[in-house]
Amino acid sequence: MDNPRLVGHIVAVHGFQVKVELQPETRSALRATPDGVQAAIAINAYLTFSLGAGETVIGIITDLEARETFDPSSGHDLSLELMKPRRIATVQLLGTVEHAEDEPSFSPGISVLPTLDTPAEIGSPHILRAIFEVPPRRNRPEDYDAKDFDCDLKLGFPTGQAHNIVRASYNDLFSRPLAIVGNTGSGKSFSVSSLVQKAMKALDGAVEEPHIFILDINGEYGKAFPFVNAAVRSPDRIYLNGTEFGLPIWFMNAEEICAWLSAAEQTQEPVLKDWWAIAKGGDATAASSIGSLQHAMSMLDQLLSELPRIRRKAAGSYCDAVTGYLADAGIGTAAFVTLFSSHRLVSDYNTEVMENQAAIAREAEKLKDAIRGKLICNSTTAELGVRTADSPLPIARAMLADPSLINRAVSKEDTIRIESHLTTLKLRLKTRLGDRRWRAFMNYEDANTKIEDLSAWFGQLGLGITTGPKVSVLDLSMLSNEVLPYACAIIGRVLLEARECLPAASRYKHPWVLVLEEAHNYAKPVRSDEDRGHRLSRLTYERIAKEGRKFGLSLIIASQRPSEISQTIISQCANFISHRLQNPDDIDHLRRIIPMQARRLLDQVTILSSGEAIVFGSAFHIPARVQFDRPEPSPYSQTAAPYHEWTRETEPFPLSRVTATWGV
């Protein structure tokens, strides 16, 4: 054979799919070439078609078939012996390789399709190297001309081609949402660990600070990213890199606190939001005097509402009531009392207030502002304008422990009117505070998990310093199913809002990646019976998926069931790593959102071995079937070997350790 790479020629062109008739002598799946033994005719092998002018189209073999055909060259009468097999390979075209002076470069576009009779050749090593080992370079910073802004991140090798390497764009994988899906045992957590380990290893010599945050739902990543493990993990707690951590309840914004307490929209939510705004920044001292301050506020409200028709002598009784309630509050009332001096001289109750209504109203409003300041620790009026129910400001546990403080958000008369609604709200608050499952939200005043303010929380997370680990593992495996979505929602929202506070010109600096392990547990599609916790979590990660890129926050979504993840989140994924999937709903769901050129390759997703995956997206030149490198060390995801374990057991099941951890 003159050309050892030649295997056939094109006999049909159907859009971006061509059929190649193979040469009679091309029978082996492998072919010896000047560059060594290469895959020739096999599913997932690559063929090239020269267009001339330094351009070559490359495609992947998706189907092979043999047809019987008449051989007229024999010169004999027609008989069955004269029939010969006509072997056809179906090839999905993937893109164009341009041969520059130095190295060939790949482009996913095809401007000119190959025509009939175009020779089909085995992909040469330098062409395959340009496709697999030199991925696209993404996200060049403005005013940066050097070529080291991106990194070629090694993932593994193409299945059956161990001499090749598959690399991906570092920037693209970690700047936009990435989905890693696969059945349990297919190697999903190994791929997550391998990918993150390689990404952090590429940063050797860089400043130590958190870059990637893993929401570890099953407690399996502690081994892959070593740290000092906690001796005993207890129920209802969160662990950060092996140390007990917390999510202060005052992180909750107005929507989250209303969802947490199942507040009724029309009657309870307005009251709860007002109270939550006032409580932010409060302390136990303010809580102890709340009754008097509340009554003073109610009397001032009543005075202002009755002022146009109040009797002059009776007005003094309002003044006395207000000053009595504020006697020990440290609020000056002299100017207010002076306005009522003439009222007390009136001999009867029938003369209405006329001459100083406006002055009384002004002083009453000043007193109300001062009372509000006392309710949140003597804050200034300017600070009151900044603080809202969404502000992550501390709330003393002593203040939360008295549900009657909710009454501060309404006047005395309104309290009486809606008391039946407030009773159920206060009962739910008291119940929640006593529920040990929410311990991780209430431990912010404990000695070993003390969190005084937002900066302290970020400091424990390792942010704002240069001595933290590059990967922070948040172990949420000990939380109950009801608590988990609230924890995930708050973590995601706080990280996003922290980045939103950065100046617009520097949001791309210090980027973060949030890994959502087992995302189907808390990022589910919208449902008519969706509970409030799952709704909050879903909305949080839908927002991050849609808007996080511009703020420097990206996602890695890892799940066994892609069909049970919000379509909004999955649709925003720029890259996919699909391990073995068996459920037809999951496969169909994935097929609808992936590029056309990857759909035939996805037909193999049911037969992938452990550690194999179909990769496609903007971080890769072409879709490929890849054997991922094993992580070192690996996570705690070893599949049990029942025969091996059962035949070698010498000790009984460690029941005492389980019950001790369970707290029973």
The reported pLDDT for the residue numbered 321 is 83
Measured in whole angstroms, how far is the alpha carbon of residue 472 from the centre of its chain? 14
* Other CB atoms within 10 A of residue 568 CB: 17
Task: Tell me whether residue 2 is exposed, middle or buried, using C-beta atoms within 10 angstroms of its C-beta: 0 to 12, 13 to 18, 19 or more.
Answer: exposed
The domain 168-248+450-648 having CATH identifier 3.40.50.2000: the answer here is no
For residue 422, what are its two tokens?
């407030």
Q: Which of 256, 269, 249, 289 is nearest to 396 (CA)?
A: 249
Contact status, residue 166 vs residue 625, Cβ threshold 8 Å: no
Contact status, residue 16 vs residue 93, Cβ threshold 8 Å: yes
For residue 317, what are its two tokens?
């009784």
Q: What is the C-alpha to C-alpha distance for residues 68 and 83, in angstroms, rounded to an integer?
A: 6
CA distances (Å), 341 to each of 187, 299, 362, in order? 83, 19, 17
Q: Encode pLDDT of 321-344 as tens digits.
A: 888 888 877 788 888 888 877 777
Three-state DSSP class for 142? coil
Q: What is the C-alpha to C-alpha distance for residues 228 and 321, in angstroms, rounded to an integer?
A: 60
pLDDT band, very low/low/confident/very high, at 381 (cuts 50, 70, 90): very low
Average pLDDT rounded to a whole number, residues 105-115: 86
- Rounded to two decimals, the pTM is 0.80
For residue 227, what are its two tokens?
């740290």
Average pLDDT rounded to a whole number, residues 43-56: 87
The reported pLDDT for the residue numbered 253 is 94
How many percent of the chain have pLDDT more than 90?
Answer: 36
Task: Tell me whether residue 656 is exposed, middle or buried, using C-beta atoms within 10 angstroms of its C-beta: 0 to 12, 13 to 18, 19 or more.
Answer: exposed
The reported pLDDT for the residue numbered 379 is 46
For residue 400, what are its two tokens?
């939360």
Residues 6+ apart with CB under 8 A from 112: 51, 55
Average pLDDT rounded to a whole number, residues 513-535: 93
Q: Positive or negative, the Cα torsion across 177, 178, 181, 186?
A: negative
Contact status, residue 520 vs residue 560, Cβ threshold 8 Å: yes
Q: Encode pLDDT of 400-453 as tens digits.
A: 876 666 665 555 556 566 667 778 888 888 899 999 999 999 999 998 999 999
Average pLDDT rounded to a whole number, residues 117-139: 88
Residues 6+ apart with CB under 8 A from 488: 215, 476, 516, 522, 523, 537, 540, 541
One-letter amino acid identity for 642?
P
Q: Which of the 8 DSSP states describes residue 630?
A: P
Q: What is the C-alpha to C-alpha distance for residues 564 and 525, in angstroms, rounded to an integer?
A: 6
Three-state DSSP class for 197? helix
Say whether the peptide bond before residue 633 is cis (omega within 30 degrees of 0).
yes
- The C-alpha angle 510, 511, 515, rounded to 5 degrees, equals 140
The reported pLDDT for the residue numbered 411 is 58
**Residues 125-138 as b or e (16 or more Cβ within 10 Å = b):** bebbbbbbeebbbb
Q: For 328-336, which contacts have Cβ atoms below 8 Å and span 24 or more sequence positions?
A: 328/289, 328/292, 329/289, 329/292, 329/293, 329/296, 329/371, 329/374, 330/374, 331/367, 331/370, 331/371, 331/374, 332/370, 333/367, 335/363, 336/360, 336/363, 336/364, 336/366, 336/367
Least confident range of 14-23, 69-78, 617-626: 69-78
Spans of all domains in the chain: 6-132, 168-248+450-648, 254-434
Contact status, residue 354 vs residue 339, Cβ threshold 8 Å: no
Q: Encode pLDDT of 460-497 as tens digits.
A: 988 887 777 889 999 999 999 999 999 999 999 999 99
For residue 188, what are its two tokens?
């999903």
Q: Encode pLDDT of 190-234 as tens digits.
A: 999 999 999 999 988 777 788 999 999 998 998 888 775 555 678
The reported pLDDT for the residue numbered 287 is 47
Three-state DSSP class for 531? coil
Least confident range of 231-245, 286-300, 346-360, 525-539: 286-300
Three-state DSSP class for 123? coil
What mean pLDDT is reported for the chain?
Answer: 84
Q: Encode pLDDT of 631-651 as tens digits.
A: 988 888 877 778 888 888 888
* DSSP codes, 367-428: HHHHHHHHHTTS--HHHHHH--TTS-----HHHHT-GGGGGGGS-HHHHHHTHHHHHHHHHH
Measured in whole angstroms, how far is the alpha carbon of residue 147 from the centre of its chain? 30
Contact status, residue 577 vs residue 199, Cβ threshold 8 Å: no
Q: Encode pLDDT of 272-290 as tens digits.
A: 888 888 778 555 444 446 6
- Residue 77, pLDDT > 60, answer no
Pairing of β 46-52 and β 612-617: unpaired
